Amino acid sequence: MNIILWVLQIVFGLFFIFVGVQHFVLPPNLPAMMSWMYELPAGLHVVSGILEILGGLGLILPGLFRVQTRLTPLAALGLVFVMFGAAVWHITRGEFQNVVQNLVVAALLGFIAYGRWKLSPLKDRRAT
Sign of the dihedral through C-alpha 5, 34, 97, 93: positive
Q: Summarize pLDDT for 5-36 with one digit per residue, the tens.
A: 999 999 999 999 999 999 999 888 888 878 88
| φ and ψ of 5, to 5 deg | -65, -40
Quick one: average pLDDT of 67-79?
97
pLDDT at 127 over 80: no
Question: Using 50, 70 and 90 to split pLDDT, how confident is the model at 49?
Answer: very high
* DSSP-assigned letter for residue 25: S
What is the reported pLDDT for 37? 86
